[in-house]
Structure 1
Amino acid sequence: MAEYDYDLFTIGAGSGGVRASRVAAAHGARVAVAEEYRVGGTCVIRGCVPKKMLVYGAHFAEDLEDARHFGWDIPECRFDWVKLRDNVLGDVDRLNGLYTQTLENHGVEIFHERATITGPHEITLSSGERKTAGYILVATGARPHVPSFPGHELGITSNEAFHLDAIPRRVLIAGAGYIANEFAGIFHEFGARVTLMNRSDQLLRGYDEALRDRLLQISIAKGIDFRFQAAFEKIEKNRDGSLTVFMTNHDPLEVDCVMFATGRVPNIEGLGLDAAGVAVNEGNAIVVDAYSKTSVDHIYAIGDVTDRVQLTPVAIREGQAFADTVFGGKPATVDYSCIPSAVFSHPPIAGVGLTEAQARNQLGAIEVYTSDFRPMKNVVAHRNERALYKMVCDAATGRVVGIHMIGPDAPEIMQVAAVAVKAGLTKADFDATVAIHPTMSEELVLMK
């Protein structure tokens, strides 16, 4: 590919784009990356990493209260949002530098500007400079969806939540997915009055129903309000700066902040995909094959901009597989079965494999084991929240096809449990494993 400036030009330096570019360069390719914002992408800059830091900060609200029951004389504490916000953003700066350094250490050239596909193998930067490449990789990710109705511009998204000057006294969060539930817990623990609004009557579609119901019960007990079967009519700004939200099936609600967590849409606008002949689906996601190739042979796409699973670890695996396939001489695809996931709510949820309903539909005869218990720490802390673990098995073989849990540290426990489900272990294998006592995770090997 000596006739081109680069062997690979990647548009977008998020987790997937960085991995693909770094590995391709390690395979000997000449690589360039264009990123119009900051290296690191959604996860590092305005997503899972800073969000998890806010989750840690929010947990201290309950931990400090619980500590009194464990003998600690805790004085009245004051929470400083600005200090936490600035510390989190400072670490984002650090990670941005590390990701940039990783690319530079592998000889990847970085253009800190927007790029558009303007020819069969041509990319034009916003500065007007034109580059050519044998392969083009689109890894531009996705952005928060904002519904269109009168006054929608008065709301914010998760992007802006990390930069607030203060925690709003009253917050309305629109949506019922993982982002909505995570920020509901964060804002609530920081002292806000939180209302979660959703068009349907369900939370967290795709997760096991028993866990979703448990989270709803706990959230209500904590003081989070819910408005179901509610759609936006309009938002009006009041003289004092507050907002009045008008919605279907419910009375108007006065709040200080409206946050949209109503899904995410692929970033494809202005990339030149139409002119290049790259096909997209009805959701404006780029359509790719098992090897991440688009409808154009030399153009590939990975991550949230495609029509697959919108998770950072998945994008990273797609980037690795792409680089190994195209530049490493080792064709590789990503196995999308049995992907574990988590919701960092309060308390968190984690799951892997089939839910009970999915297993009944696919397998027919199943066996379900549950453990509904009060964690030891909650007992001493006089906290009534109960954890729930569920194991779903194929009745014919005993193979564990799904594990689902809600409770403290559920995502940490789930990572190892997911290995067992992926490996096809049976309920008998779990039963034969000696428990670590006393732990919450021992419930996984004690279910009867």
Structure 2
Amino acid sequence: MWSLTMATYDYDLFVIGGGSGGVRAGRLAGAMGKRVGLAEEYRMGGTCVIRGCVPKKLYVYASQFGESFEDAAGYGWSVGTSTFDWRTLVDAKEKEITRLEGLYRKGLEGSKVEIFASRAELVDAHTIELKSTGQRVTAERILIATGGRVNRNTSMPGHEYCISSDEAFDLAELPKSIVIAGGGYIAVEFANIFHGLGVETTLVYRGKEILSRFDHDLRVLLSEAMTAKGIRIVTETVFNAVRKEGDRLAVELSNGETLIVDQAMLAIGRLPNSEGVGLDKAGVALSKGDHGAVIVDEYSRTSQPHIYAVGDVTDRVQLTPVAIHEAMCFLETVYKDNPTRPDHDLIPTVVFSQPEIGTVGMSEDEAIKSYPEIEVYRAHFRPMKNTLSGRADKMLMKLVVDGKSRKVLGAHILGPDAGEMAQLIGIALKAGASKDDFDRTMAVHPSAAEEFVTMYNPTYRVVNGERI
């Protein structure tokens, strides 16, 4: 099914892109004895390792210490005057991602993958040109794993004065004030990071509520918590223009307001990184419109049967573990004679906000549209850690259940360690657990997670769209 006409090529597989998906596919294909080449024009590790998940999580940790110092007093600790040095954090981050990049490279080299530090462009369906040297190589199969790029909103006047998540980790100095455009997880996470580091922070979002794709309760409660901490959230508003005003920026909003800040950040989504790869020359079809995602079938195969694509460049689910999963399915399909479709159902997701969000499965609104009767189990409480510290932050634990089959459709958490809980509860939902399975599971006490197995009676039901 997957065989190609016999021909002589320089490589069995050539991977364009050294991110999580590309590296995984290249490394394991090389370990199988395949002749593999991989081109990466920047740094090995892609968005996640270099300018995404990893540095973001490190900065989240850094931004939480201010509250931790405050909370310690309630537990008897006397914490002296604390100060924060931005440069120390940036340098420590750089050291860590350099270490991780080295591990990615070492893994590829250990599998005898030939690495090219170059931009790669397809010349035809089997030929790749390495732009740094002009060298051309051929490959039996090609994997496009070029990831995504930030949306810089180039049609907005003054967009060139704005930073994106790419630059936010390496600013020369920490700004005193920042305004961030966006309401998705990147915008929300950076709003919390900068605020936690002492920056006056404003979040501007075009929608009515931040995190529009998440459960309504999570959106509302997180917005309230962020506002209570001092983050200003302006909704149903966008950036109209940005201009320089001395050493600062004037950000004109669509609501008529002008904000004077040190930094303006665009976090309005990411686009498939399909430009300049020569996909048109190779006959690889892209989606219509501005996004230009690589169109793939259920096995990640493009319109060219020997060219595949995984990760953000396909614009299916923009998450690092998804790219890795798609790469593993590619290997099963192409090199193990085991056609395997990527499974994009029930993906646990985390927003590293403060408080944190973890979620898996359907939101309440999604379930209402798909099921005639649902049950909602909801616990909203102050976690034990906040009792002695006096912190007002509360937790939310929520289950959405099919009222007829009793199958758990979704689980949603707001509070400390929400991501860790979402990962584990995702296993239960993937296994098709019912509410009865949850009910007969013994609780771990005292813990926040025990709420998931002690909510015996529904908070309310929704039948044919009406709450009862």
Match of 1:226 among 233, 241, 244: 233
The code of the aligned residue for 1:130 comes to R
The code of the aligned residue for 1:229 comes to E
The superposition leaves residues 362-416 of structure 1 with CA deviations (integer Å, 9 ceiling, x where unpaired) of 0120111011110011111101111011100111111101001100110011111
Aligned twin of 1:182 = 189
Aligned twin of 1:255 = 261
The answer to whether the 8 A contact 2:19-2:44 is kept is yes
The code of the aligned residue for 1:201 comes to K
Aligned twin of 2:208 = 201
Q: CA shift at 1:28, angstroms?
A: 2.1
Q: How does 1:399-410 map to 2 (within 5 A)?
A: 399-410=407-418
The code of the aligned residue for 1:324 comes to E
Match of 2:139 among 127, 130, 133: 133
Say yes or no: does 1:354 pair with 2:359. no
Separation (CA, whole Å) in 1 of partners of 2:256 and 2:427: 45
SS in 1 for 2:77: coil
Q: How does 1:141-290 map to 2 (within 5 A)?
A: 141-147=147-153, 148-239=155-246, 241-282=247-288, 283-290=291-298
Say yes or no: does 1:335 pair with 2:346. no
Match of 1:121 among 117, 126, 131: 126
Q: CA shift at 1:250, angstroms?
A: 3.5
Separation (CA, whole Å) in 2 of partners of 1:120 and 1:369: 53
The superposition leaves residues 22-80 of structure 1 with CA deviations (integer Å, 9 ceiling, x where unpaired) of 12122221100000001100000100011000001111111111011110110010011
Q: How high is the TM-score relative to the length of structure 2?
A: 0.94
Aligned twin of 1:309 = 317
The answer to whether the 8 A contact 1:29-1:327 is kept is no
After TM superposition, where is structure 1 displaced by more than 4 Å over at least 4 residues in a row?
Answer: none
Separation (CA, whole Å) in 1 of partners of 2:87 and 2:242: 27
What is the aligned residue count?
A: 447
Q: How high is the TM-score relative to the length of structure 1?
A: 0.98
Aligned twin of 2:373 = 365
The code of the aligned residue for 1:189 comes to G
Aligned twin of 1:78 = 83
SS in 1 for 2:450: helix
Separation (CA, whole Å) in 1 of partners of 2:7 and 2:110: 23
The code of the aligned residue for 2:266 comes to F
SS in 2 for 1:203: coil
Say yes or no: does 1:38 pair with 2:43. yes
Say yes or no: does 1:374 pair with 2:382. yes
The answer to whether the 8 A contact 1:204-1:212 is kept is yes
SS in 2 for 1:221: helix
The code of the aligned residue for 1:401 comes to L
The superposition leaves residues 290-337 of structure 1 with CA deviations (integer Å, 9 ceiling, x where unpaired) of 111000111110000003111000000001110121112222111111
SS in 1 for 2:376: strand
Q: CA shift at 1:2, angstroms?
A: 6.0
The answer to whether the 8 A contact 2:149-2:272 is kept is yes
Say yes or no: does 1:58 pair with 2:66. no
Separation (CA, whole Å) in 2 of partners of 1:247 and 1:328: 54
Separation (CA, whole Å) in 1 of partners of 2:455 and 2:151: 41
The answer to whether the 8 A contact 2:399-2:411 is kept is yes
Gaps of 5+ in 2: 1-5, 457-468
Gaps of 5+ in 1: none
SS in 1 for 2:25: helix
SS in 1 for 2:399: strand
Q: CA shift at 1:137, angstroms?
A: 0.5
Separation (CA, whole Å) in 1 of partners of 2:28 and 2:7: 20
Match of 1:417 among 416, 425, 430: 425
Q: CA shift at 1:270, angstroms?
A: 1.0
SS in 1 for 2:274: coil
Match of 1:434 among 421, 431, 442: 442
Separation (CA, whole Å) in 2 of partners of 1:230 and 1:120: 45
Separation (CA, whole Å) in 2 of partners of 1:342 and 1:210: 15
The code of the aligned residue for 1:172 comes to V
Separation (CA, whole Å) in 2 of partners of 1:385 and 1:95: 34
The answer to whether the 8 A contact 2:202-2:231 is kept is yes
The superposition leaves residues 230-282 of structure 1 with CA deviations (integer Å, 9 ceiling, x where unpaired) of 1222111112x110111111311100000110000111111111121111112
SS in 2 for 1:156: coil
Aligned twin of 2:460 = none
- After superposing the two structures, state which structure 1 stretch, 105-114 or 226-235, moved more: 226-235
Separation (CA, whole Å) in 2 of partners of 1:4 and 1:189: 53
The answer to whether the 8 A contact 2:125-2:283 is kept is no
The code of the aligned residue for 1:406 comes to L
